[in-house]
Structure 1
Amino acid sequence: MNRLLSAGLVGVLAATLALPAAAHTGHAGDAMFLQGVLHPLTGIDHLLTMLAVGVWAAQNGGRAIWLLPTAFITMLSGGAVLGMSGIELPAVEAGIAASVAVLGLLVLLNRRVPVAAAAILVGAFAVLHGHAHGTEMPQTADPLLYGLGFVLSTAMLHGTGIALGLARHLPRRLLAFREPESTAPSNRC
């Protein structure tokens, strides 16, 4: 369990530390992409929510492991388009704060929810996060490169959350695969 957890954290740290090397002068496209990658990693609200989606998906198991991150990324992209287009949404910041609290509580309580309801919930929160990404896009950024950056970063955070969620339950799963001990008396001489 500790190895899987350590590997996931080392992977996130390595990816985060390696990214600034791409922002050398003369690589404007790289810099725009980098700005998108860094956006979810530099805001604690985004970071916690995206990790929580992954952990909660792992806790729910089955189809939720791929469906919740997919729903989040799809709706995140739609919200970003709205934000980049200048379309206002009400209470974006309050909704983002609520996403941290609600998803954090669901993870803490290990609350399983029907997959469709869970996908709708994370999708609704994702629209708000995407809207924030879109409205906070730098004026000089290429929307496609910036968007690809924060989608990749979001997927990486979901994957890390899934790994953390699965690692948390790994010892129980390993114990379940042990050979049951025989209760019958042995016929040894």
Structure 2
Amino acid sequence: MSHLSPSLAKPAARSARSARAAALAAALAAAPVLLLVAGAALAHPGHHHHEGGFAAGLAHPLLGLDHLLAMLAVGLWSLRQSRALGLGAPLLAAGGMLLGASLAWGGMALPGVEFGIAMSVLLAGVLIAALVKVPTALGAGIIVLFMLFHGHAHGSEMPHAASMLAYLAGFTLATLAITFAGRLLGGVLMARENRLLRGLGVAIAAAGALFALG
């Protein structure tokens, strides 16, 4: 039975780990697309889930490019932060969304919601491109503030006939999935070359600038 020499075994092991990581990242990066397909299926006239609002809540973050990019950016950026902030980023994003939606449902208007959404995408892209690392408390506040505007928009645009709890569950699930996908994608990029992560940050920032000007 033949054995690989230690010098050949190590690169082979690294290559196998890299392939597994890439496959896992690709699977999680596809999660938002799968959620969108699930939302479309639930929205079929024969299903009652749409009437309850779950499908509408699930699809809303996925159908808006500004929302999608912001959540992906939060996941990407969180990788270079403290362990606590990195692990808590998806929950912080969901919490900011829920807070913003609660304000909308409570009748509290936020000034410049659309501009705030655009700026959250732009600034998140800048943070990624510059590889900015901040204290945990400050980073948590940044994520919640960014997602506050997105959550307010989600709350304001809830269909009239939708169940509030079902709609909330839908967009919370989508938020968690997209943010986790961003973390996995960022992990793969960082394992290869920081310039790829920086370039993605620049692209996200440019998209945010276009949203702000639009």
Q: TM-score, normalising length from structure 1?
A: 0.83
Question: How many angstroms apart in 1 are the aligned matches of 2:81 and 2:63?
Answer: 27
Q: Flag the structure with larger Rg.
A: 1
Query: Higher mean Cα deviation, 17-26 or 110-119?
Result: 17-26
How do 1:27-106 and structure 2 match up within 5 A? Answer: 27-31=47-51, 32-106=53-127
Greater helix fraction, Structure 1 or Structure 2: 2
User: Which residue, out of 160, 165, 177, partners 1:156?
Assistant: 177
Do the aligned residues in 1 keep the contact of 2:90 with 2:176 (CA within 8 Å)? Answer: yes
Do the aligned residues in 1 keep the contact of 2:35 with 2:58 (CA within 8 Å)? Answer: no
Q: How many positions carry a matched residue from both structures? A: 172
Deviations 1:43-88 (A, max 9, x none): 1110000000111111225112222222221121011011122211
- Asked whether 1:114 is paired with 2:135, we answer yes
Do the aligned residues in 2 keep the contact of 1:57 with 1:69 (CA within 8 Å)? Answer: no
- Asked whether 1:8 is paired with 2:17, we answer no
- Asked whether 1:133 is paired with 2:160, we answer no
DSSP 3-state at the match of 1:88: coil
- The percentage of aligned residue pairs carrying the same residue is 37
Runs of 4+ in 1 over 4 A off after TM superposition: none
The alpha-carbon deviation at position 14 of structure 1 amounts to 2.6
Question: How many angstroms apart in 2 are the aligned matches of 1:15 and 1:135?
Answer: 22
Query: Higher mean Cα deviation, 149-158 or 80-89?
Result: 80-89
Q: What is the match of residue 211 of structure 2?
A: none
The AA in structure 2 aligned to 1:150 is F
User: Which residue, out of 15, 19, 37, partners 2:39?
Assistant: 19
Q: What is the match of residue 187 of structure 1?
A: none
CA distance 1:11–1:71, shift in 2 (3 Å): closer
RMSD between aligned alpha carbons? Answer: 1.8
Q: What is the match of residue 176 of structure 1?
A: none
Query: Higher mean Cα deviation, 64-73 or 24-33?
Result: 24-33
DSSP 3-state at the match of 1:131: helix
DSSP 3-state at the match of 1:169: helix
Do the aligned residues in 2 keep the contact of 1:84 with 1:137 (CA within 8 Å)? Answer: no
User: Which residue, out of 123, 137, 151, partners 2:144?
Assistant: 123
Question: How many angstroms apart in 1 are the aligned matches of 2:164 and 2:132?
Answer: 36
Q: TM-score, normalising length from structure 2?
A: 0.74
Do the aligned residues in 2 keep the contact of 1:59 with 1:165 (CA within 8 Å)? Answer: no
